């Protein structure tokens, strides 16, 4: 059998069940994440539903398919008398709902009745479900306020530190230089929204690869042994706005491994994007409060350039060691020598550094090129380029729509033989560019590394390689752990 019967109804039912959960630890276990409100649940559920392309037409018996998702779901949310996860996959909507407890059933039916025109059920089918599971108007009056309450955003006030000496980045300067700074892809709310949409797209699995391999790293002996024996008092996420699930992974691991006698863990975000910093901070504060560990963590939010950490020196000077992290392949978007020179102005002996990197092994560049083009040549990636490109067209008074300009974007992949893109020897580059008035404008650059060469480069800058962890879903995506010597 292939596909999941009544999937549209099941999907909408899941949105209701997850939104009704007051203990979001259940959501985290099932979806490998945490979301604080109904909108967040819905966003993550839809993302998970899309992780395996078109579950409706894919065999559910695949090892990496929806069977794992439903197996986790039935363990965490199920009725004690529920059958196996196979019933969740293969059964009709009534069988599906019977696997859950009464509260979850009513939450699911509340959502189905709200979405009656889009749930794939006829009015008669929905009426029969309501009768079968005793869902009445009186029940709805009890369930819906609870759903709305759990969907309400919690408000928190927090401080964002701004550097008084930071250089203002503008698209105009990028046009003059022939290269748009990557930081501009996250500056405006629209640009930040495009990034969040990209990382939740089924066409762009790198975010999930990074989060999954980062969790594996925090469970590795090299990580555990180093933290247990060290003096690590803080975590600094460099360019980390917009990925709060990774923040929580590191916070939880540090709280578990770092001796409590050393006081609260300080978690620092350094990023140039205010919208992403705000998004991450709200998420982290809600999670810390919900889990009852807010007093064990001090948050410090810095709007600043991690390539100029000396400008943040007074905000980073403290006793104890630091866990520095640059995740999501961000190192590949900047000049690596500039990054390490900046980092070394603040790093101390025995500090740790996590580098998330896209890598390649010995495959020919032609094979590499095919893989990269399949990864990037899709609508979600082009939409990510749209916000700054729109400003480019406006400033240059181009008589062209953003949609038409996006069609002209070129993706170039190759060996970086002349180090024009990367400071790490043996790297390969992925370049997005467009011709503008007869002149090439570089929109985006992303470097890929041969792991031994990246390790050698880090060693030359004072960082010793401790271990590497590969993503189970994509062995080319890796977490490299270094210690400062």
Rounded mean pLDDT of the chain? 80
Q: Hey, which residues does 127 pair with through a beta bridge?
A: none
Separation CA 476–CA 470 (nearest Å): 7
Backbone phi and psi for residue 425, each to the nearest 5 degrees, phi listed first: -60, 145
Output the pLDDT for position 371: 82
Band the pLDDT of 27: cuts 50, 70, 90.
low
pLDDT digits (tens, 9 = 90+) for 225-243: 988 877 788 899 998 787 8
Which contiguous run of DSSP H or E holds residue 283? Answer: helix 274-290
Band the pLDDT of 56: cuts 50, 70, 90.
very low
Rama region for 295: left / alpha / beta (φ>0; ψ in -120 to 50; rest): alpha
pLDDT digits (tens, 9 = 90+) for 278-291: 888 888 888 888 78
Share of the chain above pLDDT 70, in %: 77
Output the pLDDT for position 2: 42
Whether residue 24 is predicted with pLDDT greater than 80 in this model: the reply is no
- Do 174 and 181 touch, CB atoms closer than 8 A? yes
Residue 154 CB-density burial (10 A; 0-12 exposed, 13-18 middle, 19+ buried):
exposed
Whether residue 218 is predicted with pLDDT greater than 80 in this model: the reply is yes
Q: Which residue has the tokens 């998004």?
A: 279
Separation CA 202–CA 208 (nearest Å): 10
Output the pLDDT for position 483: 96
For 296, the 3-state DSSP assignment is helix
> Which residue from 62, 16, 58, 60 is spatially nearest to 41, judged by alpha carbons?
16
**Highest mean pLDDT pick, 31-35, 56-60, 68-72, 256-260:** 256-260
- Domains in the chain (CATH in brackets) are 7-150 (no CATH), 160-361+449-484 (3.40.50.150)
Two structure tokens written together for 247: 């923040």
- In angstroms, the Cα distances linking 305 to 105, 237, 443 are 48, 12, 19
Backbone phi and psi for residue 178, each to the nearest 5 degrees, phi listed first: 85, 10
49-77 average pLDDT score = 51
Output the pLDDT for position 3: 55
Output the pLDDT for position 43: 58
Q: What angle do CA 177, 183, 189 make, to 5 degrees?
A: 125
119-147 average pLDDT score = 77
Output the pLDDT for position 325: 96
- Do 235 and 254 touch, CB atoms closer than 8 A? yes
Two structure tokens written together for 6: 């009544």
Whether residue 42 is predicted with pLDDT greater than 60 in this model: the reply is no
3-15 average pLDDT score = 73
Whether residue 446 is predicted with pLDDT greater than 60 in this model: the reply is yes
Whether residue 105 is predicted with pLDDT greater than 90 in this model: the reply is no
Output the pLDDT for position 150: 45
Output the pLDDT for position 457: 97
Output the pLDDT for position 332: 93
Whether pTM > 0.85 for this model: the answer is no
pLDDT digits (tens, 9 = 90+) for 319-357: 788 999 999 999 999 999 999 999 999 999 999 999 999
Whether residue 148 is predicted with pLDDT greater than 50 in this model: the reply is no
**Highest mean pLDDT pick, 54-58, 222-226, 340-344:** 340-344
**Highest mean pLDDT pick, 142-156, 408-422, 447-461:** 447-461
Which contacts of 289-297 are long-range, i.e. CB under 8 A and separated by 24 or more positions?
A: 289/154, 289/156, 290/24, 290/36, 291/25, 293/255, 295/264, 296/255, 296/264, 296/265, 297/251, 297/255, 297/264, 297/265, 297/266, 297/267
Share of the chain above pLDDT 90, in %: 28
């Amino acid at each position: 059998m292939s596909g999941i019967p009544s999937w549209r109804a099941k999907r909408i039912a899941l949105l209701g069940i997850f939104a009704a959960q007051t203990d979001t630890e259940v959501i985290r276990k099932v979806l490998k994440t945490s979301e604080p409100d109904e909108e967040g649940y819905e966003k993550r559920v839809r993302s998970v539903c899309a992780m395996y392309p078109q579950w409706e037409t894919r065999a559910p018996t695949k090892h990496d398919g929806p069977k794992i998702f439903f197996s986790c779901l039935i363990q965490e949310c199920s009725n004690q008398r529920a059958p196996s996860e196979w019933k969740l996959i293969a059964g009709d909507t009534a069988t599906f709902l019977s696997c859950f407890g009464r509260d979850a059933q009513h939450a699911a039916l509340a959502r189905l009745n709200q979405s009656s025109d889009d749930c794939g059920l006829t009015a008669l089918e929905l009426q029969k479900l309501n009768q079968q599971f005793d869902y009445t108007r009186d029940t709805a009056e009890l369930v819906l306020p609870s759903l709305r309450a759990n969907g309400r955003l919690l408000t928190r006030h927090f401080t964002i530190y701004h550097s008084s000496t930071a250089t203002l980045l503008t698209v105009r300067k990028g046009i003059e230089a022939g290269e748009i700074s990557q930081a501009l892809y996250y500056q405006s709310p629209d640009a930040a929204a495009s990034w969040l949409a990209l990382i939740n797209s089924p066409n762009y699995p790198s975010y999930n690869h990074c989060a999954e391999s980062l969790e594996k790293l925090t469970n590795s002996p090299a990580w555990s042994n180093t933290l247990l024996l060290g003096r690590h008092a803080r975590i600094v996420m460099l360019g980390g706005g917009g990925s709060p699930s990774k923040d929580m992974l590191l916070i939880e691991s540090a709280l578990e491994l770092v001796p409590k006698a050393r006081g609260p863990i300080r978690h620092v975000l350094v990023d140039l994007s205010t919208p992403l910093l705000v998004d991450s901070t709200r998420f982290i504060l809600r999670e810390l409060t919900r889990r009852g560990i807010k007093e064990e963590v001090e948050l410090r939010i810095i709007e600043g350039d991690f390539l100029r950490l000396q400008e943040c020196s007074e905000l980073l000077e403290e006793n104890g060691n630091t866990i520095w992290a640059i995740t999501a392949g961000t190192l590949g978007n900047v000049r690596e020598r500039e990054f390490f020179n900046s980092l070394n102005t603040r790093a101390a002996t025995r500090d740790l550094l996590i580098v998330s990197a896209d890598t390649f092994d010995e495959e020919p560049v032609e094979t590499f090129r095919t893989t990269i083009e399949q990864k990037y040549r899709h609508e979600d990636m082009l939409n990510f380029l749209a916000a700054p490109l729109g400003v480019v067209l406006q400033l240059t008074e181009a008589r062209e729509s953003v949609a038409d300009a996006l069609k002209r974007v070129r993706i170039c992949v190759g060996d970086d033989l002349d180090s024009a893109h990367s400071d790490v020897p043996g790297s390969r580059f992925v370049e997005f560019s467009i011709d503008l008035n007869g002149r090439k404008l570089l929109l985006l650059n992303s470097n890929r590394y041969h792991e031994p060469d990246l390790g050698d480069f880090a060693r030359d800058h004072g960082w010793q390689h401790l271990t590497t962890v590969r993503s189970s879903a994509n062995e080319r995506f890796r977490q490299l752990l270094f210690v400062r010597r």
